[in-house]
Amino acid sequence: MNIKKFISKPLAVLAPFVAASVLATNPVMADETCMSPYMVKIVGQEDFVYVWTLGVEGLGDGQDKMVTVDVNPKSEHYGKVINSESVGGRNEAHHSGFTDDRKFLWAGGLDSNKIFIFDVHTDPAAPKLVKTIDDFVSKTGGVVGPHTTYALPGRMIVTGLSNNQDHGGRTALVEYTNGGEYIDTYWMPTDDNLQGAHKGGQFADGYGYDIRALPAKNVMLTSSFTGWSNYMMDFGAMLGDAEAMKRFGNTMVIWDLHTRKPKQVLDVPGAPLEIRCAWKPENNYCFTTTALTSQLVLLNEENDVWKATNVADVGNPADIPLPVDISINSSDTMLWVNTFLDGKTRGFDITDPHNPKQVYEKQIGNQVNMVSSSWDGKRLYYTTSLLGNWDKKAGDNDQFIKLYHWDGTEMTEQFAIDFQAEKLGRAHQMRFGAYSLYGKTAKVEQAKNNIVAMSK
């Protein structure tokens, strides 16, 4: 049965209304700010941070794992690792994302192409691996490197990074049901097959990376990174490989959210990575940063045409600070930009999205990659790993999660967990969990756990 035809259209037509409804009826008080607008929100303080962690050969059990950190300041385990679920193998753990009902967390492996699905609602303190999609490549027709796992109503959209033909950057979007059933593959537009999209500039490379939706505009946006050969290879070796350095994405694609058809291909040279869209209904724009050319890029629509504009430098582009993760706050006034190579986080005032100004800068470590913010913007979590073979070597290879409190003018570190000392691995992407999502309270659940522990 063609599941897509059977289910997708009615849901897709309703999508913007569903999104609007979610946002209107569930005023959020705390959650990370970079999730799908279709996502169920946490109300109150987050209880846990789930850290998708890369296994390191010779460190601990050497496997990728989902690490749970207790982050509720009222908990006796505050700032401690309380659970770790190993998945077998080193899969190049990278990004993860919840289903729209926030009951399951999908975590991809860029190397093995497996997608691990964790149940996070039965016991939010201890996510459990309940399903592994191990036929991603064969099912999708050759897509390699499941990256962003992004929630649409009842669906998960997975962006690929590569393919099984040349391990280059040409790739696709893949759609699954929340239950992990494959639906369809949508290849990124290429010159010989733009699929009706308008190629607005010089490039249509067919590359992929991140995805975000703007339901009010019936739009999905995708960015572009590089293929398996590059993201898996030694970073230093790649910098010295003149052919490899040509294999980075220079495009973003605007998609029709309902039909999953590409509409526009935009030139965004220099590997545009994370996409973050503004939250306010009247703010129909998004940002990205380019990893290699260190530009902050605004994506907005003018006269029914989407455009990409470089609106600020991130650090000194000549130093190649390598912008990586970014995080927008819920009032669309601040954008946090991490730069991997100098280990800094930079705060940009984006009140005027056309003229962002850097207003804050802080050294987080020798290297830094991901940043996750609470909805109120007061808590910022940082982790360090970029890719297994791109992370800094020897003593510069920091691997931690740190929590900072942000008071509007200054950051203060609250706790740090050294993932190497804990023999866990490389700390990568963070997602938040909370008992409140599932009608539970921390006290009751902890009491239950204590009883279980005592009975053992």
Partner 1 sequence: MRYLSLKISLLLSLCFYSSYGLSEDNAIREQVKTRDFYNSDHFMIKAPEAEGSPSASGNAQNIDGIRIGAGDDKTGYETTGYETNSVAISARHGKKADLIRVLNEPPLGLPKIPIPVDNPMTVEKIDLGKKLFFDRRLSLNDTFSCAMCHIPEQGFSSHELEKAVGFEGRSNRRNAPTIYNTAYLERLFHDARETTLENQIWGPLLSRNEMAMTSMGQVIQKVKDMSDYDGMFEEAFDGKSVDIVNLGKALASYQRILVSGNSPFDKWYYGKETNAISDQAIRGFDLFKGKGQCIACHSVGQKTALFTDMKVHNTGLGFKRTMGKEPEKERMLIAPGTYAYVMKSKKAIVGHAPMPDVGVYEVTQDPDDRWKYRTPSLRNVALTAPYMHDGSMLSLAEVIDLYNQGGVLKNESGYPNVTQSPLITPLGLTENESEDLIAFLKTLNGDNISEVISDAFSTPVGDTISIN
Interface positions, 288-317, toward partner 1 (CB under 8 A): 290, 292-293, 307, 310, 317
R_g (Cα) of the chain, nearest Å: 20
Q: Does 274 engage in binding with partner 1 (CB under 8 A)?
A: no
Q: Does 273 engage in binding with partner 1 (CB under 8 A)?
A: no
Stretch that binds partner 1, among 280-288, 387-395, 407-415, 426-434 (CB under 8 A): 387-395
- CA atoms of 337 and 79, how far apart (whole Å): 24
Contact residues for 121 (Cβ-Cβ < 8 A; gap 6+): 102, 103, 104, 437, 438
Give the residue among 15, 16, 21, 48 at the shortest CA–CA distance from 32.
48
Stretch that binds partner 1, among 3-11, 122-130, 168-176, 368-376 (CB under 8 A): 168-176
In contact, 127 and 119? CB cutoff 8 Å: yes
- CA atoms of 230 and 247, how far apart (whole Å): 8
Of 195-214, which residues contact partner 1 (CB under 8 A)?
200-206
Q: Does 3 engage in binding with partner 1 (CB under 8 A)?
A: no
Q: Does 186 engage in binding with partner 1 (CB under 8 A)?
A: no
Shortest distance (Å) from residue 196 CB to partner 1? 13
Nearer to partner 1, 130 or 444 (CB): 130
Nearer to partner 1, 237 or 451 (CB): 237
Nearer to partner 1, 330 or 399 (CB): 399
Copy the structure tokens of residue 211.
């995805």
Q: Does 58 engage in binding with partner 1 (CB under 8 A)?
A: no
Q: Does 281 engage in binding with partner 1 (CB under 8 A)?
A: no
Nearer to partner 1, 354 or 443 (CB): 354
- Going by the DSSP 8-state scheme, the letter that residue 428 receives in this structure is E
Secondary structure tally for the chain: helices H, strands E: 6, 31
Shortest distance (Å) from residue 350 CB to partner 1? 21
Stretch that binds partner 1, among 65-73, 83-91, 215-223, 407-415 (CB under 8 A): 83-91
- CA atoms of 276 and 289, how far apart (whole Å): 10
Amino acid at 25: T
Nearer to partner 1, 247 or 379 (CB): 247
Of 114-143, which residues contact partner 1 (CB under 8 A)?
133-135, 137-139, 141-142
Of 16-45, which residues contact partner 1 (CB under 8 A)?
none
- CA atoms of 48 and 434, how far apart (whole Å): 6
Which of 62, 79, 89, 154 is in the footprint of partner 1 by CB under 8 A?
89
In contact, 201 and 266? CB cutoff 8 Å: yes
Stretch that binds partner 1, among 3-11, 68-76, 84-92, 423-431 (CB under 8 A): 84-92
Taken in order 226, 230, 236, 238, the sign of the CA dihedral is negative
- CA atoms of 154 and 75, how far apart (whole Å): 33
Nearer to partner 1, 127 or 227 (CB): 227
Stretch that binds partner 1, among 18-26, 240-248, 401-409, 434-442 (CB under 8 A): 240-248
Nearer to partner 1, 191 or 410 (CB): 191
Amino acid at 363: Q
Which of 233, 311, 411, 416 is in the footprint of partner 1 by CB under 8 A?
233
Which of 13, 245, 447, 451 is in the footprint of partner 1 by CB under 8 A?
245
Of 341-370, which residues contact partner 1 (CB under 8 A)?
341
Q: Total binding residues for partner 1 by CB under 8 A?
A: 81
Q: Does 399 engage in binding with partner 1 (CB under 8 A)?
A: no
Q: Does 407 engage in binding with partner 1 (CB under 8 A)?
A: no
326: Cα separation from own chain's centroid:
9
Q: Does 262 engage in binding with partner 1 (CB under 8 A)?
A: no
User: Cα 224–425–314 angle (5° rounding)?
Assistant: 40
Shortest distance (Å) from residue 216 CB to partner 1? 24
Copy the structure tokens of residue 189.
């537009």
Nearer to partner 1, 19 or 117 (CB): 117
DSSP per position, 145-199: ----EEEETTEEEEE--EETTTSSSB-EEEEEETTS-EEEEEEPPBTTB-TT-EE
Q: Does 247 engage in binding with partner 1 (CB under 8 A)?
A: yes
Q: Does 242 engage in binding with partner 1 (CB under 8 A)?
A: yes
In contact, 183 and 175? CB cutoff 8 Å: yes
Q: Does 240 engage in binding with partner 1 (CB under 8 A)?
A: yes
Instruction: Kindly tell me the burial class for residue 92, based on how many C-beta atoms sit within 10 Å of its own C-beta (0-12, 13-18, 19 or more).
Output: buried
Which of 97, 169, 208, 215 is in the footprint of partner 1 by CB under 8 A?
169
Copy the structure tokens of residue 298.
């605004």
In contact, 413 and 402? CB cutoff 8 Å: yes
Q: Does 232 engage in binding with partner 1 (CB under 8 A)?
A: yes
Characterize the bridge pairing of strands 261-267 and 198-199. parallel
